[in-house]
A and B are shown apart, each in its own frame.
Chain A
């Protein structure tokens, strides 16, 4: 007997079948009519949503034309790939535990426990499913019918809790991989994950000199500058220059929302908040500050979706307390907001 949580219901004891090789249960578990509280396991999806975004997801139009973002990877550190049989393999050395692949898996077969430093895949215990047995359409129908009905074998993702979000742990993990690439892809993928069209500028590409990442809906274009290091003001400068460039090409200032995504929030000594205020007063531009921790929470937050309205609310000047307040508002559904605030300030 294992303790699991089913959907929104409180945790309860259920019995989980253990599938044995060659048993009569082979393949039968995927008959939708038979669905009960059974453990989810990898379906070996041919389209591998845990590894790549689809062309349709990447090609969604922004209100301003930008070149197509060519990098389809879900994992910002390239830690996940499919083996020959379609089963995802996670390189535990590279995985930083951001949780993107966990959320992308339609059946909850990838998990990240609060004790885990890397995501792991729930491997089917028996050769219960052969992708070849279904045509593409039938497979998608089947997967759709499974969504929300399977129980992750590991503790539910939201329970991973905020203990797993310690900045220090993330930074330790990032020392092993390309941190710059991680932050760029991670931020874009969080928006894609929440169904928002997002385009990253290629490194060295000058066709869209106004932003590093554009996220758009019909009326407003959100521009993001991403700063993995301590140079918050650099990102900030790029943001206000980006607004100027885009606005001079004919987009109204009212339709542009500049933001900076920072790995670490600057302390008072850096003068960041004061310059923020001066820019609002002198140029009428309000640059939003989004800590990477907020985006990590947005991945892990389960039912707390990331919307552009929430990003819009991330405007603070002068004090850190108010930013803590904003994040608290954003992720009010999460119990341990106090802990989040502390992690952000450090």
Chain B
């Protein structure tokens, strides 16, 4: 990596938090320097004020509430706004979602839990540059890190490993977060809300997709029962006018693994299509993790139509 020495003006701009901020600067020049600095400082926490490692933005979730990235109910990653960046608590089970989200690649998954590479104490771009320049610079900086398919696959595998024993308390939020990370606005109705007994809804103005989730603690593979529930979810969504809905939209099942050939699940999916014209789509956690990681790290988004017309496995 090429070493770049910061100009006195940029160095001055990058004072620690709390330092005097009355800096006169030339935005255009600062911006170009930031781009180089971003390259230089890649893999270090930038202390982003929008906190992408801890929360999805409202635009991403589409539901107007700050959805935590960490699927652990106690939120194992917290942005303490400290000079050292976010802290990882003991509750971390190493799913790697926060690492996927970090635009600077500053969270490593080398060990079984997430680890944050702290910022340099005088790195605080946003305060110095103003939000607009900072975010533009950051988006360019983050694309400088090239992820290989193998690395992405490894992170997806981490998510699979971490979730192998999960009960629904942990698994449902994980699936929700993976969908959001993959670029699908996902809403999880409240538990006690009998009007929305669907586990998860990929909301859309025109065709929302209901998702039935089977945690590994309930069943390792997608089973007949989950397909039956998916059919009911489809029926419930069709009967309600709360979400945009189209008859040809699929009803999805997410389980830890795909069903075996002898389970009868594929036959039932076909029978439901033949008899009722309803598509039931099956997605394994491995597949979903791959979609999420590729979307976050390689910008490879699955087109919505692939899910909305899915029948059988992805």
Contacts and interface: CB of A to CB of B under 8 A. Distances in A.
A275 B235 contact: yes
A241 B274 contact: no
A279 B231 CA distance: 10
Contact of A244 (B195, B236, B238, B271): B271
Given A237-B232, A240-B228, A282 B239 contact: yes
A269 B194 contact: yes
Contacts, number: 72
Contact of A247 (B197, B227, B229, B275): B275
B268 A245 contact: yes
B272 A244 contact: yes
A244 B224 contact: no
A274 B239 contact: yes
A271 to B, nearest CB: 5
Contacts of A9: none
Interface string A221-254: 0000000000001101110110111011100010
Contacts of B195: 271
B239 A253 contact: no
Contact of A240 (B194, B231, B264): B231
Interface string A15-47: 000000000000000000000000000000000
B267 interface: yes
A191 to B, nearest CB: 25
B133 interface: no
State the majority secondary structure of interface residues on A: helix
Most buried by A among B195, B225, B231, B270: B231
A114 interface: no
B231 A237 contact: yes
Nearest to A284: B276
Contacts of A271: 194-195, 197
A253 B272 CA distance: 12
Contacts of A209: 224, 264, 267-268
A206 B264 contact: yes
Interface string B265-290: 00110111011101000000000000
A248 B276 CA distance: 9
A14 to B, nearest CB: 58
A282 B229 contact: no
B268 A281 contact: no
Contacts of B270: 248
B236 A241 contact: no
Interface in B193-237: 194-195, 197, 224-225, 227-229, 231-232, 234-236
Nearest to A238: B228
Contacts of A248: 270-271, 274-275
A143 interface: no
B274 A282 contact: no
Interface string B144-181: 00000000000000000000000000000000000000
A134 interface: no
11 contacts: A209-B264, A209-B267, A237-B228, A241-B227, A244-B271, A244-B276, A245-B268, A247-B275, A248-B270, A275-B236, A278-B236
Interface of A: 206, 209, 233-234, 236-238, 240-241, 243-245, 247-249, 253, 269-271, 274-275, 277-279, 281-283
Minimum-distance CB pairs A-B, first 10: A278-B239, A248-B271, A237-B228, A248-B274, A244-B275, A247-B275, A282-B238, A241-B228, A244-B271, A245-B271
Interface of B: 194-195, 197, 224-225, 227-229, 231-232, 234-236, 238-239, 264, 267-268, 270-272, 274-276, 278
